[in-house]
Amino acid sequence: MEKPVATLDKGAICSAWNYCGQRLAAGSVDGYLSILDSRDPLSSSFTSSFKFKVHEGCVVKVAWIPPEYGVAVACIAEDGTLSIWEELVEGTNPLEWKLCTSFKTSSKVLDVQFSVTQTSLKMVAAYSDGFVKVFELLDPLELKNWQLQAEFQNVIDSVTIVGKASCLTACISWNPQNGEGQESSFILGFNSDTPQLNSPKVWEFDPAHQRWLPVAELALPVDKGDQIYSVAWAPNIGR
Amino acid sequence: MPGVSSDSARGALVPLSPESPAAAVYPLRHGLKSPISRLSISWSRGNSLRVSVFAAPSSDGSVNDGDGGKVVEVKLGGGDGEISEAHWRRIAYGSVSPFALLQSRKNAVFSLSKFSMNSSPYDGDWWDYIMEYSKDINALLVNQKSASVPVLDDPKSVITKGEEPTSLKAAWELLEMFYAEKPSHSWLPERLVDWLADYDSLFSGTHPTVHSKLVDFQKELVNLQVVEDDPKYWEVMSSALAVGWLNIVVKMLRLHGSYRLDQLSNRETENGLVEAVAVLISKMPRMRLEHEAGKLGECYKAKPDFVKAWEKWRGQINKLDSSAFWFQCAHQQTREGLRSMLQIMLGNANSLCSATYNWIELYISHFLYMRPLTVGLESMYSLAQKSIQLKPMASAHRLMGLIIGILGENTEVVLAECLKGFGPWMVAHAIELLTAGSDHAEMLLHEERQNLGGISIEELHRLVYAQVLSSFPLTWQIAPIYLISCMKHGMVLLQRLLSKQPVQDNQLLLKSIEICRLYELHSVTSNIMKIAGVHHWKHGRKGSGVFWLQQARDEYRLNRIALQLFDSVGKTISDESFKQWEGLIQLLGSDSKTAGGLEFLHKYRDFKKSLRQIHDGKATDSARQAVESLISLMKNPSTPQRFWLPLLYDSLKLLNWKERPLLNVSQTNLLLNKLQELSMARLRPDFIESELPPQALNSVRLALGTNLGRAILEE
């Protein structure tokens, strides 16, 4: 029933498959990122084809960038740094993975997810102080320049700001449906000491006001303040 | 499965309550030595699940024996043990055209029936279509392997090599028998007799069968001198007789020692009795249309004829049974053996029960000898139940479950048995047979159900099968045929399937695009092309990248590429890069939409080319040509202002031409004016300084001034 397809090196701690399930990115405790491929498209046995150091500390999460923007992986380190690495061939150099950009702020990045809208690539990053930032890629062919589009907290009431929040983990999931006429939306939940931040909320972009608005809160009144560990958006198949 | 949606048009988020029965739990072997610290799950193609299992990193720095983690792929629903993977793929590929043909015929029939007055769209042709479909699929299920089958060429062998039957084929034939054949053609009990003759061996693995006894006896037969002394000989013959394998019985009877030429004189009576039984067997009346050539028994189509023949036959058996010759038969085993065979032929329930080994065989024997006139599924079902009671089985075989479901006329049970015993392929294709003649089944299977998300059972199973096909790289390409036959969810799943195909392999890419085009999935097509374009561009294959982006009509990225090309204007670049740059401009074409006109780039390219042809102030003609291009470029309004200085700087060689001034007075004045404009423009705040050495402006000015002087002198 089950078949082993890959063996990860010692210290591997997180992994992510790319959009077509043909490549696996694995991060390890000593700061290395491995990329595994299968030699033959028909076989299902994956071996490491690249391994390079991305951070000094442990890599806690990896996420692939949508293929419309290249072959790239975003890595989050234990110290909260976010870096984006891309597989490129530049000039006459052989194929290699290069650092495109790196974000370091006082608060740590906890989770990052990407979404392709009709016009651009958006990145949502959740931080340890309870804030979430939405970035937009300016140039579709370069993963270097990201513009901060919005910054807000995961609370319904946008007026008050919850200060001194301390979050352990966060989870984000984009709505995979990007049909015409539909604005992009994502769901965000935190695992923190502040109950208002925790409950998973669906955020949708309002183009008229150029703002992100919470359109739903997925929590029963009873367990609103519970910590959230993981969210995932189901693919919409026709309803 | 999707959660319950509310009925309101706007749609509300409703929590999914876990009312469904407990989820199935499967143990997963990962082979890691250390304890697990984390798990990561991800759905791959179709219904494969990939689980990454991470071992706890050692905190004390000691060498951790074993790996850091393992990734396993899980595909639930393992294959059929009797069918190899290659054969399954052949079946999958072969089923596509019969299925597609039937669907198109169905659509045609339905659209016609809208215009006609018929209440039911199914007519005579429809049964032919169904039969054709069934036969096409049946042909795929033939196994290449051969196995032992009871047949009769060699005098001493009762079993010979033939095609090895599979449960899948047996199941398909059952469904064909009960659902696809037109009602008037069915002599169901007799068909079941034939079916058992072909497939009894399938039960040998788990149950005792007549077939296995035959096979065992065959092995011993070679060593036997006097067959009639062996009690097994008589047992096996009785059993074969009970299930109607008349040819084998008669053949075995003729092995009897009394036929031997040297024995004939002594054992005349014995031989007479054996022959009499053999003749009676070969004249057994059967209620069926016709036999295959060479098969024993007399066929009768009409009930009155059959009944008459049956009574006569029974009369003959009784006469033989009560004749005086038995006392004259010396050989005890022969006497007893033949008489028990007569009992079977007379329909003695006990004899039948002891001669058969499982309930199906008993069931068949009842049809042959006790109730040959059984018609109707109800009576067949109750008879089956009685047989099961008389011969209860410890374990069930998937075919047995199927038979019960079919006889019980319970469509849902039939579907469940097909799914459980034979997998999604069977269900997806068998539904066509089940809905063929029965309005009830059709309603049941075509009705849209809320608990399934608004789709019918038929669609559900096709989607499930398509998911199975999508899970394997060698069969995903046939999944689209099944997906598009599903009205509701098929298209979206097809889009997902195609979006998740990799683009690195060119053949695969072209195949995906072909399928997209076939089903007019334009947005998916352009997206796939976009991904391919970006992939090629970033991996050094710029030409291919531009090609695919153009196919995808991705103006956004093409514009960016054009802007990147602009960056090369005014810079010295190597020959190799120039060629690439030139090639890209060529590819991009002079489409005026991109970056405000690539017209400039084309002209610039021509200018650069002509510049390169000039070596060391010698070839004046080409120099003049270059000057012409320069002037036309500077005059052209589509030339962006920021490129004026780079252009002039590039052409310093021309401006400082040793032989003679290449520009006349008016041309030089034009350039000087442009330079003046440029100096004015530089004072503006939004001016973009081009990356040239600081003395560029001065060198150009100097060169132009010198040229002006020389030009005036010339005139």
pLDDT digits (tens, 9 = 90+) for B293-349: 778 888 888 888 999 999 999 999 999 989 888 888 888 888 899 999 999 999 999
Rounded CA-CA distance B700/B651 in Å is 9
User: Residue range B82-86: average pLDDT?
Assistant: 84
Across the interface, whether the CB atoms of B539 and A12 are under 8 A apart is answered no
pLDDT top residue among B48 and A159 = B48
| CA angle, B654 then B660 then B665, to 5° | 80
Could you tell me the pLDDT band of residue B97, with boundaries at 50, 70 and 90? very high
Mark yes or no for CB contact B40/A15 under 8 Å: yes
Instruction: Report how many Cβ contacts below 8 Å link chain A to chain B.
Output: 154
Cβ-defined contact of B50 to A4 (cutoff 8 Å): no
Quick check: A35 and A19 in contact, CB under 8 A? no
Mean pLDDT in each 10-residue stretch from start to end of chain A (239 residues)?
Answer: 84 90 91 89 84 90 92 92 91 86 88 85 89 89 90 78 77 77 82 81 86 84 76 71
| Residues 6+ positions from B423 with CB-CB distance below 8 Å | B77, B79, B80, B468
| pLDDT value at B96 more than 90 | yes
Strand partners, A32: A53
The angle, 0 to 180 degrees and rounded to 10, between the axes of the packed helices B167-175 and B424-434 is 20
Which pLDDT score is estimated for A180? 63
* Percent share of chain B, pLDDT over 90: 24
More confident residue, B100 or B679: B100
CB distance from A219 to chain B under 8 Å? no
Percentage of chain B modeled with pLDDT above 70: 87
Taking CA–CA distances from A93, the nearest residue in chain B reads B540
Q: Structural domain boundaries of chain B? A: 30-56+67-74, 201-375, 554-714
- Interface subset of A 85-124, CB within 8 angstroms of B: 86-90, 95, 119
A119 interaction partners in chain B (CB closer than 8 Å):
556
Q: Where are the domains of chain A?
A: 1-39+49-104, 111-238
Average pLDDT over residues B341-360: 91
A68: helix, strand or coil: helix
In chain B, which residues have their Cβ closer than 8 Å to the Cβ of A26? 52, 69
User: Nearest by CB to A14, which of B40, B45, B489?
Assistant: B40
Q: Which of residues 180-199 of A touch B (CB under 8 A)?
A: none
**Measured at the alpha carbon of residue B346, what is the angle toward residues B341 and B352, in degrees to the nearest 5?**
65
Place of tokens 């039960």: B203
**Best residue of B26, B42, B44, B73 to probe chain A, by most A CBs closer than 10 Å:** B73
pLDDT of residue B591: 55
CA distance B69 to chain A (A): 5
How close B432 comes to chain A (CA, Å)? 24
Single pTM value for the model: 0.83
Structure tokens at B427: 């269900």
A215 inside 8 A of chain B by CB:
no
Cα–Cα distances (Å) from B697 to B13, B613, B647, in that order, read 67, 25, 11
Q: With CB atoms and an 8 Å threshold, state whether A239 touches B30.
A: no
Instruction: Give pLDDT, residue B353.
Output: 92
Name the band, by pLDDT with cuts 50, 70 and 90, for residue B3: very low
Mean pLDDT of B464-480: 90
Written as one string, the DSSP assignment of B330-388 is --HHHHHHHHHHHHHHTT-HHHHHHH--SHHHHHHHIIIII-TT--SHHHHHHHHHHHH
Interval B173-186 mean pLDDT:
79
Q: What gap in Å lies between CA A99 and CA A97, rounded to an integer?
A: 7
Which range in B441-450, B644-653, B682-691 is most confidently predicted, on average pLDDT? B441-450
pLDDT band at B1 (very low <50, low <70, confident <90, very high): very low
Inter-chain touch A41–B473, beta carbons under 8 Å: yes
ipTM of the complex: 0.91
Tell me the shortest Cα–Cα distance from A163 to chain B, in angstroms: 30
CA distance A107 to chain B (A): 25
The two three-digit tokens of residue B475, written as one number: 């069969």
Distance CA A203, CA A216 (A): 7
Query: Which among B367, B371, B306, B313 is positioned nearest to B342, based on CA atoms?
Result: B313
> What does the pLDDT average to over B624-636?
79
Which residues lie below 8 Å from residue A82, measured CB to CB, with a gap of 6+?
A74, A75, A76, A102, A103, A104, A109, A112, A125
Identity of the amino acid at B199:
Y
User: Is 70 exceeded by the pLDDT of residue B4?
Assistant: no
Instruction: Tell which B residues from 452 to 481 touch A, by Cβ distance under 8 Å.
Output: 453-454, 473-474
Residues 6+ apart with CB under 8 A from A54: A27, A31, A32, A33, A75, A77, A83, A85, A99
A111-238 — its CATH code? 2.130.10.10
Residue A194 sits at φ, ψ, to 5 deg, of -105, 110
pLDDT-derived band of residue B153, with 50, 70 and 90 as boundaries? very low
